[in-house]
Structures are given as structure tokens and as C-alpha cells.
Amino acid sequence: MTQVYLDNAATTALRPEVVERMTKVLNENYGNASSTHSFGRSSKALLEQCRKSIASYFNVSASEIVFTSGGTEADNLALRSAVRDLGVTEIITSKIEHHAVLHTAEQLQKEYGITITYVNLEKDGSINKSHLESLLTNSNKKQLVSLMHVNNEIGNVLDLERVAQLVKSNNALFHSDMVQSVGHFKVDLKEIPVDFMAASAHKFHGPKGVGFCFIRKESGLKPLIFGGEQERGYRAGTESTHNIVGMDEALKIAYTNLKEEKAYISELKAYFIQEIKTHLPNSSFNGCCGHSENSTYTLVNVCLPIAPSKAPMLQFQLDLKGIACSRGSACQSGSSQQSHVLTEVLDEDKLKQPSVRFSFSKFNTKAELDYVVNVLKEFVNS
């Protein structure tokens, strides 16, 4: 059976070079990085080399990179400590953030009685910057703004620099979930005043179960997990050396080949959009993903012209044909509920039709996309 993997926004395949480097570390550098003997020192040296390397891609200090189990933990670390330790009493966010942010904010509201304020969205899901500015200027509360750089479902790209400057000028803190952008976009955190950011290795062809949190120097953030003094006291627990090394290797390859791979994947996306328009002309593209402006080059979210009665069978049919994709984020794909993102950006009629997210990588081909379009056309016209 033909198999096509177009769910790279959920997770990506490990690059062969990453597997090779991780295997070497698993075999040779198995010492605990907190141990003082030679085996431990060897692992510790690797960790610090990776920390310095990762920090260099964002133009920040190595001491500002804290290794975590992934993006969700990094989001929790930033948001929970900001409320618990930095005196934040209002979180400004949007209703189309990842649940790692939305559910954390909701829990903090229950625990600490903070205010959650949602910034208005434009029709395409973009942030209404005028409304954000009014929320920042018309409050006397200690505020933290949490807005993702690239939306994981519809691909909208936040004007990170403009928003960060706006937040900074109003003396608020800024957190950004960059899980979908790290490894795919270059971000200079020395120039852009982001206080906290989250990243996850498995979104850029690295291993699962590892990520990092950027914490601006002297922010006052305190640990979420207590125990040992690992990660400069920010995150207790023995570091997963092989995973961290794999993440470093994946990020190094991603940024070394960024120009070439971005051009290739962008071409795939443009080709796929054109083929959908040609063969399924009544389709529409959700958010900004139907064009290159204000959208990531890595995914499209398409609303297909399928009757509501047939819609429940679409995902099953695609899977039957060996096509991996998603109707929303992988974190909620097993749920019967509609995507919270699409609920905010689509009207009632469009919500009755199935929307599917296809996300691309350098390992995809035009031949695979032709196959997917043919399967979709066959299903729509049957």
C-alpha cells in the first residue's frame, strides 16, 4: 500500500544523522551529567556544548536555555512561575492558542484567581493588534501576553517583532509558544524582546520527549519541578543526554539547510494548493494558509466540499489509503469535539464541512501530493 506522511505538524521523522549521533552517545556517553567522575564529566561537557550551540541560533546566552521534556513543560514553566512568582495577575492570550497554554491559563485562574483576557481575532484568525494595544494600555494589572509564533492548525504567523515591542513598551511580560516555528524560522531573541519561549525537538526532525525553554536573564522565573539542582536549579531531574544531543543535531541541520529546505517545502505547498484549486475548486483554505503572506510554508488547512453526511468517513478513507494527516492538532485528534481553532475562524456552514491539515517536510514529494489529491477527488466525487 502507498504510504504518505503529511502530518509533520504533529511530529516529524528523525533525520538519519540525528539517529547516528544519538546512538553514539547512548553507547559511549551514558554517565550521569551530575556525577563528578570522568563518565559524568563527559556527559556534562556534551550537555553544555549543546546548550551553547542551541543558544547561538537565537543569539542568546547559553545560561538562558533550560532543557525540558518538550514544549508543554516549557509553556507550563513560564506561565505558572510568572503567576506564582512574578506577580502576574492577568494573562492576555487568544482563543486559538495551543491547549498547553489555554489549559494552563485556565488552571492558573482556578488556583490564583487571575484574569484571562482574550485578544480579538481578525476573520482570518490573525491577532487584532489594535485590540491588543488597548488591552495593554487600559489595565493597571501585572500582565503577561502569551501568543504563539506559528499557529499549529491554520499556520498563521504572528508579527513577533511588532507584538514583542508593543508588549515591552507597556511594561508587560511576553511569552511565545514557538514549537511550530523553531527549526523553520530564524528568530533573533537579542533583538526581539521575548521574555520566555517554548520549543520541542520532535517538530524539527529531532527526538520526542525533549525541548527547551528560553528564559530571559534575570527574569526572576523559578522552577516548576523540584529535586536536584540540574539546569541551574530551573528544572530538577537527570538530563536526557542522548535526547538533548539529538535535538542539537536536528537544530543544527535545520538551520544549516534552512534556505534550501524552505524553498523546497514552499514549492510543495504552492503546488498542493494549486492542485486542490484545480481538482477540488469548491475547497477553501482556513486562516492565512492559502497564501504565502502571514502563513508558514509548512502546512495547509483545507475545508473540503464534502456533504456533512459523508464527512465522518473522510479521515477513515484517507487512513485506509495510507495517507497520514490530521483534522486538527494531534493532541486532540482522538476527540470527537470540533477543533477549538476552527471554531473561532470558520462560520457555521464551513464548520459542517470537514477540514483537514496537511503538513509537509523535506521528505515529501510532488508525486505523493498527486496521490493525495487523486484520493481526495475520488472521495469527493463518489
As a whole number of angstroms, the distance between CA 152 and CA 71 comes to 12
50 catalytic per annotation? no
As a whole number of angstroms, the distance between CA 7 and CA 327 comes to 10
- In contact, 267 and 297? CB cutoff 8 Å: no
Q: How confident is the model at residue 329 (pLDDT cuts 50, 70, 90)?
A: very low
This prediction's pTM: 0.95
Q: DSSP letter for 174, please.
A: E
337 burial via Cβ count (<10 Å: 0-12, 13-18, 19+)? exposed
As a whole number of angstroms, the distance between CA 188 and CA 353 comes to 40
3 state SS of 296: coil
Q: Tens digits of per-residue pLDDT, 4-22? A: 999 999 999 999 999 999 9
Please compute the mean of the pLDDT values over residues 292-320 and round it to a whole number. 92
- In contact, 153 and 169? CB cutoff 8 Å: no
Residue 333 has pLDDT above 50, yes or no: no
Q: With the CA atoms of 293, 294, 296 and 301 taken in that order, what torsion angle do they form, in degrees rounded to the nearest 10?
A: -90
Residue 363 has pLDDT above 60, yes or no: yes
Q: How confident is the model at residue 328 (pLDDT cuts 50, 70, 90)?
A: low
What does each C-alpha distance from 86 to 28, 39, 294 come to in angstroms?
A: 42, 38, 33
- In contact, 148 and 177? CB cutoff 8 Å: yes
Q: What percentage of the chain carries pLDDT values higher than 70?
A: 97
Q: Tens digits of per-residue pLDDT, 203-224? A: 999 999 999 999 999 999 999 9
Question: How many Å separate Cα 18 from the centre of its chain?
Answer: 20
3 state SS of 295: strand
Q: Tens digits of per-residue pLDDT, 118-166? A: 999 999 999 999 999 999 999 999 999 999 999 999 999 999 999 999 9
Half-sphere CA count of 193, side-chain side, radius 13 A:
14
Residue 334: predicted pLDDT: 45
- In contact, 213 and 77? CB cutoff 8 Å: yes
Q: Which residues contact 369 (CB under 8 A, 6 or more apart)?
A: 268, 271, 272, 275
In order of their start, the domains of the chain are 4-12+258-381 (3.90.1150.10), 16-256 (3.40.640.10)
Residue 330 has pLDDT above 80, yes or no: no
Residue 311: predicted pLDDT: 86
Query: Per DSSP, what are the bridge partners of residue 67?
Result: 212
Residue 58 has pLDDT above 70, yes or no: yes
Residue 327: predicted pLDDT: 81
Average pLDDT, the chain: 95
Q: How confident is the model at residue 1 (pLDDT cuts 50, 70, 90)?
A: confident
Q: What angle do CA 296, 244, 51 make, to 5 degrees?
A: 85
Please compute the mean of the pLDDT values over residues 42-67 and round it to a whole number. 98
As a whole number of angstroms, the distance between CA 35 and CA 38 comes to 8
Comparing 58-62, 114-118, 136-140, the range with the smallest average pLDDT is 136-140
As a whole number of angstroms, the distance between CA 201 and CA 21 comes to 15
Instruction: Please identify which of the residues 50, 213, 288, 331 carries the catalytic annotation.
Output: 331
Q: Which three cell numbers stand for residue 123?
A: 476573520
- In contact, 143 and 109? CB cutoff 8 Å: no
Helix (H) or strand (E) holding 115: strand 115-118
- Give the dihedral sign, CA 11/15/16/19: negative
Residue 85 has pLDDT above 90, yes or no: yes
Please compute the mean of the pLDDT values over residues 100-127 and round it to a whole number. 98
